[in-house]
Structure 1
Amino acid sequence: MYLADETWPDLGAYFDEESLAIVPLGSTEQHGPHLPEGTDHMIAEALAHEAAERTGYLCTPTINVGVSPHHRQFHGTMWVDAPVFRDYVESFSRNLTYHGIDRIVYVNAHGGNVEHLQEVGRRLHETETAYAIEWMWDESIPDLVDDLFTQNGPHGGPKETAMIMHIARDLVHDDRLEDARDGGLVDMEDGDYRIHGARTFYDAADNTDNGVLGDQTDATPEKGTELFEAASDQLVKLCDWLDDQPFEDLMPEPHVHERER
Protein backbone atom coordinates (compact mmCIF):
# COMPACT_ATOMS: atom_id res chain seq x y z
CA MET A 1 0.00 0.00 0.00
CA TYR A 2 1.43 3.37 -1.06
CA LEU A 3 0.33 6.14 1.29
CA ALA A 4 0.16 8.92 -1.30
CA ASP A 5 -2.20 6.92 -3.54
CA GLU A 6 -4.77 6.20 -0.83
CA THR A 7 -7.72 8.15 0.56
CA TRP A 8 -7.83 8.96 4.25
CA PRO A 9 -10.71 6.56 5.01
CA ASP A 10 -8.80 3.69 3.39
CA LEU A 11 -5.68 4.62 5.31
CA GLY A 12 -7.75 4.60 8.49
CA ALA A 13 -8.62 1.00 7.80
CA TYR A 14 -4.91 0.19 7.53
CA PHE A 15 -4.08 1.93 10.80
CA ASP A 16 -6.86 -0.02 12.52
CA GLU A 17 -5.11 -3.27 11.64
CA GLU A 18 -1.39 -2.49 11.22
CA SER A 19 1.28 -0.39 12.89
CA LEU A 20 4.29 -0.71 10.56
CA ALA A 21 5.50 1.76 7.93
CA ILE A 22 8.22 1.44 5.30
CA VAL A 23 10.05 4.71 4.57
CA PRO A 24 12.41 4.86 1.54
CA LEU A 25 15.30 7.33 1.74
CA GLY A 26 18.20 8.08 -0.54
CA SER A 27 19.98 11.05 -2.06
CA THR A 28 20.27 13.18 -5.16
CA GLU A 29 23.99 13.32 -5.85
CA GLN A 30 26.65 12.54 -8.42
CA HIS A 31 27.13 8.89 -9.28
CA GLY A 32 29.80 9.30 -11.89
CA PRO A 33 29.49 9.82 -15.65
CA HIS A 34 27.31 6.74 -16.19
CA LEU A 35 24.54 6.80 -13.56
CA PRO A 36 21.73 9.26 -12.78
CA GLU A 37 21.97 11.51 -9.74
CA GLY A 38 18.81 9.87 -8.43
CA THR A 39 20.50 6.47 -8.17
CA ASP A 40 20.20 6.11 -4.39
CA HIS A 41 16.63 7.25 -3.97
CA MET A 42 15.54 5.24 -7.01
CA ILE A 43 16.99 2.06 -5.50
CA ALA A 44 15.42 2.73 -2.10
CA GLU A 45 12.04 3.51 -3.62
CA ALA A 46 12.01 0.42 -5.85
CA LEU A 47 12.89 -1.89 -2.96
CA ALA A 48 10.39 -0.28 -0.59
CA HIS A 49 7.58 -0.48 -3.14
CA GLU A 50 8.42 -4.10 -3.87
CA ALA A 51 8.31 -5.02 -0.19
CA ALA A 52 5.05 -3.10 0.32
CA GLU A 53 3.45 -4.82 -2.65
CA ARG A 54 4.51 -8.25 -1.42
CA THR A 55 3.47 -7.72 2.20
CA GLY A 56 0.68 -5.17 2.19
CA TYR A 57 2.55 -2.90 4.62
CA LEU A 58 2.32 0.86 4.22
CA CYS A 59 5.00 2.62 2.15
CA THR A 60 5.44 6.37 2.48
CA PRO A 61 6.68 8.82 -0.17
CA THR A 62 10.43 8.76 -0.77
CA ILE A 63 12.89 11.18 0.81
CA ASN A 64 14.99 12.13 -2.22
CA VAL A 65 17.62 14.46 -0.74
CA GLY A 66 19.93 13.29 2.03
CA VAL A 67 23.24 14.08 3.70
CA SER A 68 25.58 14.44 0.70
CA PRO A 69 27.92 17.42 1.17
CA HIS A 70 30.89 15.12 0.50
CA HIS A 71 29.83 15.03 -3.16
CA ARG A 72 29.35 18.79 -3.48
CA GLN A 73 32.20 19.37 -5.96
CA PHE A 74 30.26 17.56 -8.68
CA HIS A 75 27.52 19.28 -10.68
CA GLY A 76 23.96 18.97 -9.45
CA THR A 77 24.57 17.29 -6.11
CA MET A 78 21.94 18.29 -3.56
CA TRP A 79 22.15 17.93 0.20
CA VAL A 80 20.81 19.08 3.53
CA ASP A 81 22.89 19.61 6.64
CA ALA A 82 22.98 16.60 8.94
CA PRO A 83 21.11 18.21 11.89
CA VAL A 84 18.35 19.36 9.53
CA PHE A 85 18.06 15.88 8.04
CA ARG A 86 17.86 14.23 11.46
CA ASP A 87 15.24 16.66 12.71
CA TYR A 88 13.18 16.32 9.54
CA VAL A 89 13.19 12.52 9.63
CA GLU A 90 12.37 12.51 13.33
CA SER A 91 9.54 14.99 12.77
CA PHE A 92 7.77 13.01 10.04
CA SER A 93 8.38 9.79 11.96
CA ARG A 94 6.58 11.26 14.96
CA ASN A 95 3.85 12.32 12.53
CA LEU A 96 3.43 8.65 11.58
CA THR A 97 3.14 7.66 15.23
CA TYR A 98 0.28 10.16 15.61
CA HIS A 99 -1.69 7.97 13.20
CA GLY A 100 -0.85 4.76 15.04
CA ILE A 101 2.47 3.63 13.56
CA ASP A 102 4.83 2.34 16.23
CA ARG A 103 7.49 0.60 14.13
CA ILE A 104 9.31 1.98 11.09
CA VAL A 105 11.80 0.52 8.63
CA TYR A 106 13.98 3.18 7.01
CA VAL A 107 14.82 1.65 3.63
CA ASN A 108 18.07 3.44 2.97
CA ALA A 109 20.30 3.40 -0.11
CA HIS A 110 22.78 6.17 0.75
CA GLY A 111 25.75 5.64 3.02
CA GLY A 112 25.75 9.27 4.11
CA ASN A 113 22.36 8.80 5.76
CA VAL A 114 23.24 5.76 7.87
CA GLU A 115 24.49 7.26 11.11
CA HIS A 116 21.80 9.94 11.08
CA LEU A 117 18.95 7.47 10.61
CA GLN A 118 20.39 5.37 13.41
CA GLU A 119 20.46 8.46 15.62
CA VAL A 120 16.81 9.20 14.86
CA GLY A 121 15.96 5.60 15.68
CA ARG A 122 17.80 5.95 18.99
CA ARG A 123 15.85 9.09 19.87
CA LEU A 124 12.49 7.47 19.12
CA HIS A 125 13.49 4.35 21.04
CA GLU A 126 14.76 6.28 24.05
CA THR A 127 11.46 8.13 24.41
CA GLU A 128 9.50 4.90 23.80
CA THR A 129 7.75 6.59 20.88
CA ALA A 130 8.46 3.98 18.21
CA TYR A 131 10.92 1.34 17.13
CA ALA A 132 12.60 2.63 13.98
CA ILE A 133 15.53 0.87 12.32
CA GLU A 134 17.79 1.69 9.40
CA TRP A 135 18.15 -0.95 6.67
CA MET A 136 20.80 -0.67 3.95
CA TRP A 137 20.12 -2.93 0.99
CA ASP A 138 23.66 -4.05 0.16
CA GLU A 139 24.45 -4.77 3.80
CA SER A 140 21.61 -7.29 3.82
CA ILE A 141 23.28 -9.40 1.10
CA PRO A 142 27.06 -8.93 1.54
CA ASP A 143 28.02 -12.43 0.41
CA LEU A 144 26.10 -12.11 -2.84
CA VAL A 145 27.67 -8.72 -3.58
CA ASP A 146 31.14 -10.16 -2.99
CA ASP A 147 30.37 -13.16 -5.18
CA LEU A 148 29.11 -11.09 -8.11
CA PHE A 149 31.82 -8.41 -8.28
CA THR A 150 35.61 -8.52 -8.04
CA GLN A 151 36.04 -4.77 -7.56
CA ASN A 152 32.80 -3.50 -6.15
CA GLY A 153 33.43 -0.05 -4.73
CA PRO A 154 31.04 1.60 -2.28
CA HIS A 155 29.89 4.44 -4.55
CA GLY A 156 28.82 4.35 -8.20
CA GLY A 157 30.37 0.92 -8.52
CA PRO A 158 29.05 -2.19 -10.27
CA LYS A 159 26.48 -3.09 -7.61
CA GLU A 160 24.67 0.26 -7.95
CA THR A 161 25.18 0.20 -11.71
CA ALA A 162 23.63 -3.27 -11.93
CA MET A 163 20.71 -2.24 -9.73
CA ILE A 164 19.89 0.76 -11.93
CA MET A 165 20.23 -1.48 -15.00
CA HIS A 166 17.43 -3.53 -13.44
CA ILE A 167 15.30 -0.62 -12.20
CA ALA A 168 15.75 2.00 -14.94
CA ARG A 169 17.75 0.47 -17.79
CA ASP A 170 17.50 3.50 -20.07
CA LEU A 171 19.18 5.79 -17.52
CA VAL A 172 22.49 3.90 -17.53
CA HIS A 173 25.07 5.19 -20.04
CA ASP A 174 26.64 1.93 -21.21
CA ASP A 175 29.05 3.80 -23.44
CA ARG A 176 30.60 5.46 -20.39
CA LEU A 177 31.23 2.39 -18.21
CA GLU A 178 34.88 2.11 -19.21
CA ASP A 179 35.39 5.84 -18.68
CA ALA A 180 33.81 5.52 -15.25
CA ARG A 181 36.19 2.73 -14.34
CA ASP A 182 39.31 4.33 -15.82
CA GLY A 183 38.60 7.79 -14.41
CA GLY A 184 37.75 6.62 -10.94
CA LEU A 185 39.40 4.50 -8.27
CA VAL A 186 39.04 0.82 -9.13
CA ASP A 187 40.77 -0.83 -6.16
CA MET A 188 40.05 0.64 -2.74
CA GLU A 189 43.45 -0.56 -1.52
CA ASP A 190 45.07 1.94 -3.89
CA GLY A 191 43.52 4.89 -2.05
CA ASP A 192 45.25 6.85 0.70
CA TYR A 193 42.32 6.73 3.09
CA ARG A 194 44.24 6.58 6.34
CA ILE A 195 47.67 7.73 7.44
CA HIS A 196 49.00 6.60 10.81
CA GLY A 197 45.46 5.62 11.83
CA ALA A 198 43.80 8.91 10.86
CA ARG A 199 41.16 9.31 8.16
CA THR A 200 42.65 11.75 5.68
CA PHE A 201 39.71 12.67 3.44
CA TYR A 202 36.45 14.52 3.68
CA ASP A 203 35.08 14.52 0.14
CA ALA A 204 34.67 12.02 -2.69
CA ALA A 205 36.76 14.33 -4.87
CA ASP A 206 39.72 13.71 -2.57
CA ASN A 207 39.85 10.09 -3.74
CA THR A 208 38.43 9.92 -7.25
CA ASP A 209 38.49 12.37 -10.14
CA ASN A 210 35.11 11.36 -11.56
CA GLY A 211 33.38 10.52 -8.30
CA VAL A 212 33.12 6.74 -8.49
CA LEU A 213 34.83 3.63 -7.17
CA GLY A 214 35.11 0.05 -8.42
CA ASP A 215 34.84 -1.58 -11.84
CA GLN A 216 31.58 -0.50 -13.45
CA THR A 217 32.14 -2.71 -16.50
CA ASP A 218 31.38 -5.73 -14.32
CA ALA A 219 27.70 -4.76 -14.03
CA THR A 220 24.92 -6.45 -16.00
CA PRO A 221 21.11 -6.26 -15.87
CA GLU A 222 21.03 -9.92 -14.88
CA LYS A 223 23.22 -9.26 -11.87
CA GLY A 224 20.99 -6.32 -10.99
CA THR A 225 17.92 -8.54 -11.04
CA GLU A 226 19.66 -11.05 -8.76
CA LEU A 227 20.64 -8.29 -6.32
CA PHE A 228 17.18 -6.75 -6.35
CA GLU A 229 15.37 -10.01 -5.71
CA ALA A 230 17.75 -11.07 -2.93
CA ALA A 231 17.60 -7.70 -1.17
CA SER A 232 13.80 -7.59 -1.51
CA ASP A 233 13.57 -10.99 0.15
CA GLN A 234 15.62 -9.73 3.07
CA LEU A 235 13.50 -6.61 3.43
CA VAL A 236 10.27 -8.60 3.41
CA LYS A 237 11.65 -10.92 6.10
CA LEU A 238 12.73 -7.93 8.20
CA CYS A 239 9.30 -6.31 7.97
CA ASP A 240 7.53 -9.53 8.87
CA TRP A 241 9.87 -10.11 11.81
CA LEU A 242 9.35 -6.57 13.10
CA ASP A 243 5.58 -6.81 12.70
CA ASP A 244 5.55 -9.99 14.80
CA GLN A 245 7.37 -8.49 17.79
CA PRO A 246 5.35 -7.36 20.83
CA PHE A 247 5.87 -3.62 21.15
CA GLU A 248 6.97 -3.89 24.78
CA ASP A 249 9.78 -6.25 23.75
CA LEU A 250 11.10 -3.59 21.36
CA MET A 251 11.28 -0.88 24.00
CA PRO A 252 14.29 -0.10 26.23
CA GLU A 253 15.19 -2.37 29.09
CA PRO A 254 14.48 -0.91 32.54
CA HIS A 255 17.30 0.54 34.62
CA VAL A 256 19.26 -2.19 36.41
CA HIS A 257 18.10 -0.78 39.77
CA GLU A 258 14.50 -1.34 38.78
CA ARG A 259 15.25 -4.87 37.59
CA GLU A 260 16.82 -5.73 40.94
CA ARG A 261 13.69 -4.87 42.90
Structure 2
Amino acid sequence: MKNFEIEFMTRTEVEEHLVKNPVMILPVGSTEQHGFHLPLGTDTILAKALARMVAPRINSLIIPALYYGYSWVWHKIPGTITLEQEHFKTVLKDIAKSVETYGTKLLIIINGHDANNQSLKYTVREMKYQTDMKILYFFYPNFSEIYKKYCESEIQNGLFHAEEFETSLMLAENDKLVDMTKAVKEYPDYPPLYSHTSEILGDISKSGVFGDATAAGKEKGQKMFEEFADEICKAVSLLTNNKL
Protein backbone atom coordinates (compact mmCIF):
# COMPACT_ATOMS: atom_id res chain seq x y z
CA MET A 1 0.00 0.00 0.00
CA LYS A 2 1.34 3.41 -0.94
CA ASN A 3 2.39 5.63 1.93
CA PHE A 4 0.94 9.15 2.01
CA GLU A 5 2.23 10.32 5.42
CA ILE A 6 5.30 12.52 5.03
CA GLU A 7 6.74 11.68 8.44
CA PHE A 8 7.49 8.22 7.04
CA MET A 9 8.76 9.45 3.65
CA THR A 10 12.08 10.82 2.43
CA ARG A 11 12.55 14.34 1.09
CA THR A 12 12.87 12.92 -2.43
CA GLU A 13 9.58 11.03 -2.16
CA VAL A 14 7.76 14.13 -0.93
CA GLU A 15 9.24 16.32 -3.65
CA GLU A 16 8.39 13.87 -6.42
CA HIS A 17 4.84 13.49 -5.17
CA LEU A 18 4.21 17.24 -4.96
CA VAL A 19 5.41 17.72 -8.53
CA LYS A 20 2.66 15.35 -9.65
CA ASN A 21 -0.05 16.47 -7.23
CA PRO A 22 0.66 19.54 -5.04
CA VAL A 23 -1.97 18.78 -2.39
CA MET A 24 -1.43 18.20 1.35
CA ILE A 25 -3.75 17.33 4.24
CA LEU A 26 -3.27 18.59 7.80
CA PRO A 27 -5.22 16.71 10.50
CA VAL A 28 -5.84 18.86 13.59
CA GLY A 29 -7.46 17.98 16.89
CA SER A 30 -6.79 18.34 20.59
CA THR A 31 -5.37 16.72 23.68
CA GLU A 32 -8.16 16.81 26.22
CA GLN A 33 -10.45 14.62 28.29
CA HIS A 34 -13.07 12.48 26.56
CA GLY A 35 -14.83 10.89 29.49
CA PHE A 36 -13.51 7.86 31.31
CA HIS A 37 -13.86 5.56 28.31
CA LEU A 38 -11.96 7.36 25.53
CA PRO A 39 -8.34 8.53 25.19
CA LEU A 40 -7.29 12.17 25.44
CA GLY A 41 -6.14 12.12 21.83
CA THR A 42 -9.57 11.19 20.48
CA ASP A 43 -10.13 14.28 18.34
CA THR A 44 -6.75 14.02 16.65
CA ILE A 45 -6.90 10.25 16.22
CA LEU A 46 -10.22 10.61 14.43
CA ALA A 47 -8.97 13.45 12.23
CA LYS A 48 -5.96 11.33 11.26
CA ALA A 49 -8.19 8.37 10.47
CA LEU A 50 -10.34 10.49 8.18
CA ALA A 51 -7.24 11.94 6.51
CA ARG A 52 -5.98 8.41 5.79
CA MET A 53 -9.30 7.58 4.13
CA VAL A 54 -9.25 10.70 1.97
CA ALA A 55 -5.57 10.81 0.94
CA PRO A 56 -5.50 7.78 -1.39
CA ARG A 57 -8.66 8.92 -3.13
CA ILE A 58 -7.27 12.35 -4.01
CA ASN A 59 -3.60 11.30 -4.12
CA SER A 60 -2.68 13.77 -1.37
CA LEU A 61 0.14 13.76 1.16
CA ILE A 62 -0.62 13.93 4.89
CA ILE A 63 1.26 16.30 7.19
CA PRO A 64 1.97 15.11 10.77
CA ALA A 65 -1.10 15.89 12.87
CA LEU A 66 -1.43 18.87 15.16
CA TYR A 67 -2.39 17.38 18.54
CA TYR A 68 -3.03 20.72 20.25
CA GLY A 69 -5.93 23.12 19.83
CA TYR A 70 -8.17 25.38 21.85
CA SER A 71 -9.22 23.27 24.86
CA TRP A 72 -9.64 25.90 27.56
CA VAL A 73 -12.97 24.50 28.77
CA TRP A 74 -11.15 21.38 30.08
CA HIS A 75 -7.96 23.07 31.27
CA LYS A 76 -8.32 21.95 34.91
CA ILE A 77 -8.38 18.25 34.00
CA PRO A 78 -5.00 16.45 34.05
CA GLY A 79 -3.61 15.74 30.61
CA THR A 80 -5.30 18.65 28.86
CA ILE A 81 -3.06 20.80 26.65
CA THR A 82 -4.61 24.03 25.40
CA LEU A 83 -3.30 26.78 23.14
CA GLU A 84 -4.52 30.34 23.18
CA GLN A 85 -6.58 31.02 20.07
CA GLU A 86 -4.07 33.48 18.63
CA HIS A 87 -1.23 31.00 19.22
CA PHE A 88 -3.20 28.26 17.51
CA LYS A 89 -3.89 30.54 14.55
CA THR A 90 -0.21 31.43 14.32
CA VAL A 91 0.81 27.78 14.24
CA LEU A 92 -1.72 27.09 11.48
CA LYS A 93 -0.42 30.04 9.47
CA ASP A 94 3.18 28.92 9.89
CA ILE A 95 2.31 25.43 8.67
CA ALA A 96 0.48 26.86 5.66
CA LYS A 97 3.39 29.15 4.77
CA SER A 98 5.82 26.27 5.17
CA VAL A 99 4.08 23.91 2.77
CA GLU A 100 3.46 26.66 0.24
CA THR A 101 7.19 27.41 0.09
CA TYR A 102 7.94 24.18 -1.74
CA GLY A 103 5.02 24.21 -4.13
CA THR A 104 1.86 23.04 -2.37
CA LYS A 105 -1.16 24.48 -4.18
CA LEU A 106 -3.94 23.16 -1.94
CA LEU A 107 -3.90 22.62 1.83
CA ILE A 108 -6.81 20.63 3.25
CA ILE A 109 -7.34 20.93 6.99
CA ILE A 110 -9.36 18.10 8.56
CA ASN A 111 -10.41 19.12 12.04
CA GLY A 112 -11.67 16.76 14.72
CA HIS A 113 -12.25 19.28 17.52
CA ASP A 114 -15.29 21.56 17.51
CA ALA A 115 -13.69 24.34 19.56
CA ASN A 116 -11.03 24.78 16.85
CA ASN A 117 -13.59 25.81 14.26
CA GLN A 118 -13.68 29.52 15.05
CA SER A 119 -9.88 29.77 14.96
CA LEU A 120 -9.80 27.87 11.67
CA LYS A 121 -12.41 30.13 10.09
CA TYR A 122 -10.52 33.30 10.91
CA THR A 123 -7.14 31.80 10.05
CA VAL A 124 -8.32 30.91 6.55
CA ARG A 125 -9.88 34.35 6.12
CA GLU A 126 -6.70 36.11 7.23
CA MET A 127 -4.55 33.93 4.96
CA LYS A 128 -6.57 34.90 1.88
CA TYR A 129 -4.32 37.89 1.17
CA GLN A 130 -1.14 36.29 2.46
CA THR A 131 -0.99 33.27 0.17
CA ASP A 132 -1.87 32.15 -3.34
CA MET A 133 -2.37 28.61 -2.06
CA LYS A 134 -5.94 27.39 -1.73
CA ILE A 135 -7.04 26.28 1.75
CA LEU A 136 -10.06 24.12 2.52
CA TYR A 137 -11.07 23.21 6.06
CA PHE A 138 -13.57 20.63 7.25
CA PHE A 139 -15.21 19.58 10.50
CA TYR A 140 -17.28 16.48 9.75
CA PRO A 141 -19.00 17.95 6.65
CA ASN A 142 -22.77 17.49 6.43
CA PHE A 143 -22.65 16.50 10.09
CA SER A 144 -26.33 17.11 10.90
CA GLU A 145 -27.68 14.87 8.17
CA ILE A 146 -25.15 12.10 8.72
CA TYR A 147 -25.69 12.20 12.48
CA LYS A 148 -29.46 11.89 12.06
CA LYS A 149 -28.99 9.00 9.67
CA TYR A 150 -26.90 6.83 11.99
CA CYS A 151 -27.15 8.05 15.60
CA GLU A 152 -30.01 7.43 18.04
CA SER A 153 -29.31 9.89 20.85
CA GLU A 154 -30.16 13.57 20.83
CA ILE A 155 -27.75 16.49 20.98
CA GLN A 156 -28.62 19.16 23.52
CA ASN A 157 -27.59 22.82 23.28
CA GLY A 158 -25.63 22.06 20.12
CA LEU A 159 -22.85 20.40 22.12
CA PHE A 160 -21.64 16.83 21.72
CA HIS A 161 -18.55 15.39 23.37
CA ALA A 162 -17.34 11.84 24.03
CA GLU A 163 -20.89 10.59 23.35
CA GLU A 164 -22.47 8.29 20.78
CA PHE A 165 -20.93 10.04 17.79
CA GLU A 166 -17.30 10.29 18.87
CA THR A 167 -17.39 6.92 20.62
CA SER A 168 -18.75 5.23 17.49
CA LEU A 169 -16.01 6.73 15.36
CA MET A 170 -13.35 5.62 17.82
CA LEU A 171 -14.79 2.10 17.93
CA ALA A 172 -14.48 2.05 14.15
CA GLU A 173 -10.93 3.40 14.15
CA ASN A 174 -9.50 1.42 17.08
CA ASP A 175 -11.86 -0.33 19.46
CA LYS A 176 -8.93 -1.31 21.69
CA LEU A 177 -8.80 2.32 22.80
CA VAL A 178 -12.42 2.28 23.97
CA ASP A 179 -13.60 0.93 27.33
CA MET A 180 -17.36 0.61 26.87
CA THR A 181 -17.74 -0.61 30.47
CA LYS A 182 -17.02 3.00 31.49
CA ALA A 183 -19.24 4.63 28.86
CA VAL A 184 -22.11 6.67 30.34
CA LYS A 185 -25.05 8.82 29.40
CA GLU A 186 -24.97 12.36 30.74
CA TYR A 187 -26.74 15.53 29.69
CA PRO A 188 -25.39 18.05 32.21
CA ASP A 189 -27.47 20.92 33.52
CA TYR A 190 -26.08 24.25 32.37
CA PRO A 191 -25.96 27.21 34.78
CA PRO A 192 -28.52 29.89 33.75
CA LEU A 193 -25.77 32.33 32.76
CA TYR A 194 -23.44 29.80 31.12
CA SER A 195 -23.25 31.58 27.76
CA HIS A 196 -22.54 34.90 29.44
CA THR A 197 -19.82 33.96 31.92
CA SER A 198 -16.44 32.22 32.07
CA GLU A 199 -17.96 29.00 33.43
CA ILE A 200 -16.07 25.97 32.09
CA LEU A 201 -17.44 22.65 30.89
CA GLY A 202 -15.09 20.78 33.19
CA ASP A 203 -17.06 22.13 36.17
CA ILE A 204 -20.45 21.31 34.64
CA SER A 205 -20.09 17.66 33.66
CA LYS A 206 -19.28 14.89 36.14
CA SER A 207 -18.25 12.35 33.52
CA GLY A 208 -16.92 14.60 30.79
CA VAL A 209 -19.58 13.18 28.47
CA PHE A 210 -22.19 15.41 26.82
CA GLY A 211 -24.67 12.94 25.36
CA ASP A 212 -25.10 9.18 25.40
CA ALA A 213 -21.90 7.20 24.90
CA THR A 214 -23.69 3.92 25.67
CA ALA A 215 -25.53 4.11 22.33
CA ALA A 216 -22.29 3.93 20.33
CA GLY A 217 -21.58 1.21 17.79
CA LYS A 218 -18.61 0.26 15.60
CA GLU A 219 -20.62 -0.30 12.43
CA LYS A 220 -22.31 3.10 12.57
CA GLY A 221 -18.89 4.65 13.12
CA GLN A 222 -17.55 2.96 9.99
CA LYS A 223 -20.49 4.16 7.92
CA MET A 224 -20.18 7.73 9.18
CA PHE A 225 -16.46 7.76 8.42
CA GLU A 226 -17.20 6.65 4.85
CA GLU A 227 -19.77 9.38 4.35
CA PHE A 228 -17.52 12.11 5.75
CA ALA A 229 -14.72 10.96 3.46
CA ASP A 230 -17.12 11.10 0.51
CA GLU A 231 -18.17 14.65 1.43
CA ILE A 232 -14.57 15.85 1.62
CA CYS A 233 -13.61 14.22 -1.67
CA LYS A 234 -16.62 15.79 -3.39
CA ALA A 235 -15.63 19.24 -2.12
CA VAL A 236 -12.02 18.79 -3.24
CA SER A 237 -13.22 17.64 -6.66
CA LEU A 238 -15.34 20.76 -7.04
CA LEU A 239 -12.30 22.93 -6.40
CA THR A 240 -9.72 20.99 -8.38
CA ASN A 241 -11.99 20.65 -11.40
CA ASN A 242 -11.84 24.42 -11.49
CA LYS A 243 -8.02 24.16 -11.23
CA LEU A 244 -5.87 25.02 -8.22
Q: TM-score, normalised by structure 1?
A: 0.84
The 1-side partners of 2:153 and 2:11 are apart by 48
> How is 1:75-224 mapped onto 2 (pairs within 5 angstroms)?
75-137=78-140, 139-147=141-149, 148-152=151-155, 153-177=159-183, 180-181=184-185, 184-185=186-187, 191-192=190-191, 199-200=196-197, 202-224=199-221
Report the alpha carbon displacement of residue 241 of structure 1 after superposing the two structures with TM: 2.4
The 1-side partners of 2:216 and 2:209 are apart by 14
Q: Secondary structure at the match of 1:105?
A: strand
The 1-side partners of 2:37 and 2:198 are apart by 24
Q: Report the RMSD for the aligned CA atoms in angstroms.
A: 1.9
Q: Secondary structure at the match of 2:128?
A: helix
Report the alpha carbon displacement of residue 193 of structure 1 after superposing the two structures with TM: 6.1
Match of 1:252 in 2: none
Report the alpha carbon displacement of residue 219 of structure 1 after superposing the two structures with TM: 0.5
Residues 170, 221 of structure 2: 8 Å contact kept? yes
**Is it true that 1:228 corresponds to 2:230 in the alignment?**
no
Structure 1 gap ranges (5+) = 248-261
The 2-side partners of 1:194 and 1:3 are apart by 46
Worse-matched range after superposition: 10-19 or 198-207? 198-207
Q: Secondary structure at the match of 2:137?
A: strand
Identity percentage of aligned residues: 24
The 1-side partners of 2:65 and 2:227 are apart by 21
Equivalent in 15, 18, 36 of residue 15 of structure 1: 18
Residues 65, 78 of structure 1: 8 Å contact kept? yes
- The answer to which structure has the higher helix fraction is 1
The 2-side partners of 1:214 and 1:159 are apart by 9
Structure 2 gap ranges (5+) = none
Tell me the amino acid that sits aligned with residue 70 of structure 1.
V
Worse-matched range after superposition: 119-128 or 85-94? 119-128
Q: TM-score, normalised by structure 2?
A: 0.89
Match of 2:240 in 1: 243
Residues 141, 230 of structure 1: 8 Å contact kept? no
Alignment: residue pair count: 237
Residues 19, 102 of structure 1: 8 Å contact kept? yes
Q: 1:187-210: per-residue Cα shift (whole Å, max 9, x none)?
A: xxx534657xx5345421243122
Residues 27, 67 of structure 1: 8 Å contact kept? yes
